[in-house]
A and B are shown apart, each in its own frame.
Chain A
Amino acid sequence: MGMTDLALAPAILPLVGAALALAGKTARPASARTLERLGAFVGLALPWLPLVLLAPSILQGGAVEGFVGGWAPSVGVAFRFDGMAWLVNLLGFAVAGPAWVHARGSGPRGSAFTALYLVQASALAATSMAADLFNLFVCLEVLGMASYVLVTESGKPGAYLASFSYLMVSAAAMVFFLLGVYGLYRLTGALEYGAVARGLSALPDSGGHAALASVAAIAAAIALRTAVMPLYGWLPEAHALAPHAVSAVLSGVLIKTPLFALTRILVLLPGGGETGAILGAAGAIAAPIGVVIALSQTDAKRLLAYHSISQIGYVVAAWGAGVALIAADPDGAGASAGAVLVAAAYLHALAHALFKGLLFLSVGTVTDVAAERDVYRLRGAGRALRRAGERLPVTTLAFAVGALSIMAIPPFNGYASKAALSAALKGRWQYWTLLAASVGTVASFIKLSLVFRRPKPAASTETFSEEAPPAVADTATEAPESGAEKVPISAKLATATLAAACLAGGLAAPRLYRVVATALGAAPGATDAWSAALYAPAELLKTAGLAAGGLALFALARTAPGKALASAIRNRPRGFHGLFLALCLGMAALTAWLIR
């Protein structure tokens, strides 16, 4: 087994696991369960082995490159397992494993679910290492297909509608992607990123408008999958109505993987740097807008879903600025500075994957035991959990860790990653929009935390007696057996693992940031100054200021005008056609900007 096979293993092992799980579909129930567990072990635990084995060389800035099957370069499928691929795999498997464990208790279960879940994990790994335009297309299609089905696994009619919208707009975007592949192949006769870039630079006008339009089409398709601001419309419903474990993976991992896979294309091709800059600007604007919409939501999971749009804005803002720097100066100081920005983006992506996964899982547990998803009506969540047999308040603590992380309170990982973003973006306008978004984040999580507040004596009878009947569609699928109101041990295990990871990520942040920056190609020591200033009084003061601002904003949102505004935002018209309009206009605007 060579290095090539070792690098491909994270993509292949989950497929093997999926085959095992599928074999159980037609087997007897007992052996089906065994096969399902075996498949999940092969697909979600074993991939750590190649990742660990590859870590020493990859994290020094090395890469495993090659063509699958050892075929000739001009025709074969290229892949590149570099620092970024390793990091994205880390992010993916760190969330996918615990989320699957959570699903054992909270559902869905079954051979078909596990097989699809593993296919999704495989596609995530394959996407992260794609270095061939058409292979990226195939990987994104596999990823998409698995997620369309997984969203509907919750069985709610709304989830079917969300999945349909997601499928339609994303399939249309993939046709645009395919046309972009056509343009680049037509110009250069190559599909491998490097060969395409070489082919374009050999052309008299480096491909002219056609090359730029191709890049724009590809970038627009991936921006849609990433849910960058104008193209986000499909996300909230899909993430809010999917099963909790699927929501965790969708929000935590699925939207970021295509973004990081796009990096390799943009740093090589003409117009890539500018595309990165535009997407980054869109992300920086998305961060505060997303958080305002999130603050206006009443449904707990929908609030979390809108937060993903805001948080992906943070990631894209720094990522885009970094890509622009790298593309402008691929071999000089710009590349190192850009790599630090991308490293900060990745650090936040990782932190977000962990704490958002944690939040989706713990909030999911809470809403399940209380049978209520409305933030305003749900009170006394801690008591509901206790009644469900939770002696040690694992879920409550896990939620607290997740909320403190996303609010950027030290020493959790969100504090470190947001500090990394602020340091990397200092002096740019994006710094200020992200700061504004942080205030809103604090406010909306204060709001979400209120579900743990003790029920008011007067209102307690009202809220508790109303617990059972509301939301017929919810309870129909989520309480299938009598033991379901107990918090399952697997759910506790999953949330505890992720909570520990959030804390560890915060405590080890300086070291982690250094490793990430080195793996992405930054100059050695580029993050040292940041590490020294991480807990400086000025930084802590800023955090306190943000928290105070968040509290003030929350109070403001509770006033009558604030409530009216929230309701107006919540009930703003959202049409199916708006998704396509945003996609087409976004793509056209990007093309126009690039060819101007």
Chain B
Amino acid sequence: MPTRLAALASVLAAAFALWPLFALDVAWPGTVRDYLEAKGTVESGAMNLVSAIYLGYRAYDTLGETVVLLVAVTGAIGMMAAGSALAPREAGGAPVEPARSPRREARSRQRTELIAALSGKLGAVILIFGLYVMLYGHVSPGGGFQGGVVVASGIVFLALGSHGAAPSPLVGARNLARIESAGFAILLVAACLGVASGKGFLAPPLPGGDPVSFIIVLNAVIGIKVGAGIGLLCVAMLTEEAA
């Protein structure tokens, strides 16, 4: 009961404290919108102004976001690995994995084969669609991150498809980890190119060049890094479950 009481008090207190923010009813300030409408496409080269901000004006935040994702993937996978390594040494109260009945095992194998046949084909298609979303983010909705997530689901499908058969090298956990850390390193190199050319950290590095090319490069690198990272996480979760 004290938990319920605490929850009620927390909710009431939060409602009181945040009420002025929800009651706020002033006209939306148009400074940023007006500026971007006038100059955004010229300065960044992207017709999609959200992409212009995400990978141009505020690419620094996006870098932080990819770092958060990197930490989450590294941390979660590390915990899963530590969990399986430490499990037998756990003192007291360690639950025993419930053994699956043979019938359920057979049924699930049957199902897995069906999924494998379908998803192996589907995975390739999804991967290509992901690449499209990734590379055309500057003109249409989408971009590196969204494309990366689509790529990740393609990877998951490929991993499902390679159940039973020889696993595709692309979706091996080790390779995905390699691709992710390489993607992160390339992202940092791309960010630092501006330092070398004197335009500053995270600035489009080429003098006089079309800034949109920098956004496309960032989109591609982020997409590959995110796709590999999330794919790695999902593949690790799927394989742990199967183990």
Contacts and interface: CB of A to CB of B under 8 A. Distances in A.
Contacts of B84: none
Interface string B58-76: 1111011101101110110
Interface string B21-54: 1011010111110011001100100000000010
Interface of A: 1-2, 4-5, 8, 12, 15-16, 19-20, 22-23, 25-26, 66, 68-72, 74-77, 112, 115-116, 119, 122-123, 126, 134-135, 138-139, 141-142, 145-146, 148-149, 152, 155, 157, 176, 179-180, 182-183, 185-190, 199, 208-210, 212-214, 216-217, 220, 472-473, 476, 575, 577-578, 580-581, 583-585, 587-588, 590-592, 595
A259 to B, nearest CB: 20
6 contacts: A12-B192, A16-B192, A148-B75, A476-B89, A588-B16, A592-B16
Given A5-B201, A584-B9, A588-B14, A15 B67 contact: yes
Contact of A68 (B3, B31, B202): B202
Main secondary structure, interface of A, reads helix
A182 B13 CA distance: 19
Given A69-B202, A77-B60, A26 B174 contact: yes
Contacts of A141: 64, 68
A72 B9 CA distance: 44
B78 to A, nearest CB: 5
Given A4-B201, A26-B174, A213 B20 contact: yes
B136 to A, nearest CB: 23
Nearest to B92: A472
A75 B174 contact: no
Interface string B158-187: 000000000000000010011011101100
B199 A70 contact: yes
B182 A23 contact: yes
B114 interface: no
Contacts of B58: 71, 75-77, 134-135
A186 B22 CA distance: 11
A580 B6 contact: yes
B200 A70 contact: yes
A146 B2 contact: no
Nearest to A71: B57
A145 B72 CA distance: 7
A25 to B, nearest CB: 6
Contacts of A472: 91
A590 B19 CA distance: 14
Contact of B60 (A68, A149, A210): A68
Contacts of A187: 24, 26, 29
A472 B14 CA distance: 42
Contacts of B60: 68-69, 77, 135
B7 interface: yes
Nearest to A141: B68
B75 to A, nearest CB: 3
Main secondary structure, interface of B, reads helix
A578 B6 contact: yes
Contacts of A4: 200-201
A189 B30 contact: yes
A189 B200 contact: no
A585 B29 CA distance: 31
B177 A119 contact: no
Contacts of A595: 20
A591 B17 contact: yes
A176 B18 contact: yes
B29 A186 contact: yes
B198 interface: yes
B106 interface: no
Contact of B28 (A186, A213, A575): A186
A142 B195 contact: no
A590 B63 CA distance: 33
Contact of B6 (A5, A212, A581): A581
B188 interface: yes
B61 A210 contact: no
A184 to B, nearest CB: 10
B32 A74 contact: yes
B102 to A, nearest CB: 34
Given A72-B39, A72-B43, A75-B57, 14 more contacts: A8-B201, A12-B188, A22-B180, A75-B32, A75-B40, A135-B64, A155-B82, A157-B90, A189-B28, A208-B20, A209-B20, A210-B23, A214-B21, A216-B17
Contacts of B199: 70
B203 interface: yes
Given A71-B56, A189-B29, A210 B21 contact: yes
A188 B31 CA distance: 9
B35 A22 contact: no
B99 interface: no
A179 B39 contact: no
B6 A2 contact: no
B6 A22 contact: no
A112 B61 CA distance: 23
